[in-house]
Amino acid sequence: MLKTLLLTGAAGGVGQSLRPLLSQIAESVVLSDLTPIKDLRPSERFVACDLSDRSGVDSLVNGVDGIIHLGGISVEKPFDQIMQGNILGLYNLYEAARAAGRPRIVFASSNHTIGFYRRDERIDSQAPTRPDSLYGVSKVFGEAVASLYFDKFGQETLSVRIGSCFPEPRNTRMMATWFSPRDFLSLCGCAFETPRLGHTIIYGVSDNDEQWWDNSHAAFLGWRPRDNAAHWRREILSKTAPDDPNDPAVVYQGGGFVTAAHPED
Ligand SMILES: NC(=O)c1ccc[n+]([C@@H]2O[C@H](COP(=O)([O-])OP(=O)(O)OC[C@H]3O[C@@H](n4cnc5c(N)ncnc54)[C@H](O)[C@@H]3O)[C@@H](O)[C@H]2O)c1
């Protein structure tokens, strides 16, 4: 059990889904975001912080003994926004952690680091990255910083290439990519408990019938996802038009990010 966990990006979709579960892994939680959070539980406190503000991030990280880093831009956006949230913000977080005793970090990376692999390819975490967006490139940067900071400074990180983390799957792609908040929480628990984490990359995905990713390199974590998107399969198929197998958004793992225009065009 952690004494104090820092959750960045706490006001976002994933942060809000994880919040009610965090008492399973931490005695107290510092929630941080640009957007204020008012409905605080007794174990929570809120600190507003822009991740691009170096001294703000230094104070935020000081005194915590684990970090779940969700904060930043979570979809394709113009590069200057991505640079502030996901490049500078990520760097500030790692520098703050290095100065504050290296609390372990669970970094919310993304399947968009590898979105240009086809859905009929099964890849593991050692496959070369093939980002499908500027956003995906920023997550590759984050994983690279995590790798450097472990090899050079001993900062441990679990980089979780999240598939689609929502309370329920929403479309046919999520039959393969869905990651339940409950499975994410149990994965975070493993990351903070395992004796040696190093810098490990894992695909954040539930125990879905349809699987594109091989997590065998992270088997030492002993993590067992329990949820399965197949439970919603019939309902989703009944509500959606059949996929066009020639659509690049269906051919490639990154879905719509693969076909999205450059955000500055
Ligand atoms: N939801 C998913 O399925 C999914 C999939 C892959 C990766 N991820 C990653 O997981 C994380 C959480 O995703 P989400 O869906 O909750 O995203 P979200 O956009 O709902 O939440 C992100 C939060 O980060 C905050 N933020 C943005 N820029 C910031 C800055 N400069 N300083 C401080 N806070 C800032 C936003 O205010 C927001 O509340 C993101 O890093 C995202 O890239 C999510």
Q: Where do the domains of the chain lie?
A: 2-259
Whose Cα sits closest to atom 23 in ligand 1? Answer: 9
- Is 135 annotated in the active site? yes
- Per-residue tokens: 210: 């349809």
Catalytic residue, candidates 91, 117, 135, 149:
135
- pTM surpassing 0.95? yes
- As a dihedral over the C-alpha atoms of residue 224, residue 226, residue 232, residue 233, rounded to 10 degrees, the angle is 40
**How many CA atoms, within 13 angstroms, populate the side-chain half-sphere of residue 109?**
32
How many angstroms does the Cα of residue 238 sit away from the middle of ligand 1?
Answer: 30
- Mean pLDDT for each consecutive 10-residue tract of the chain (265 residues)? 98 98 98 97 98 98 97 97 98 98 98 98 97 98 98 98 98 97 98 98 98 97 98 94 94 97 93
pLDDT, position 157: 98
User: Looking at residue 180, what is its pLDDT?
Assistant: 98
Identify the pLDDT of residue 156: 98
User: What pLDDT was estimated at residue 4?
Assistant: 98
SS (H, E, C) the chain: CEEEEEEECCCCHHHHHHHHHHHHCEEEEEEEECCCCCCCCCCEEEEECCCCCHHHHHHHHCCCCEEEECCCCCCCCCHHHHHHHHHHHHHHHHHHHHHCCCCEEEEEEEHHHCCCCECCCCEECCCCCCCCCHHHHHHHHHHHHHHHHHHHHCCCEEEEEECECCCCCCCCCHHHHECCHHHHHHHHHHHHHCCCCCEEEEEECCCCCCCCEECHHHHHHCCCCCCCHHHHHHHHHHHCCCCCCCCHHHHECCCHHHHCCCCCC
Dig out the tokens for 236 from the structure. 């989703």
CATH architecture of the domain covering 2-259: 3-Layer(aba) Sandwich (3.40)
Ligand 1 mutation target, pool 53, 67, 70, most atoms within 8 A of CB: 70
Cβ-contact 187, 165 below 8 angstroms: no
Question: What does each C-alpha distance from 98 to 30, 152, 157 come to in angstroms?
Answer: 19, 11, 12
Q: How far is the CA of 12 from the centre of ligand 1 (A)?
A: 6
For ligand 1, residues with CB inside 6 Å are 9, 11-15, 33-35, 50-52, 70-74, 84-85, 89, 108, 110, 162, 164-165
Residue with tokens 């590898």: 114
* Residue 27 confidence (pLDDT): 98
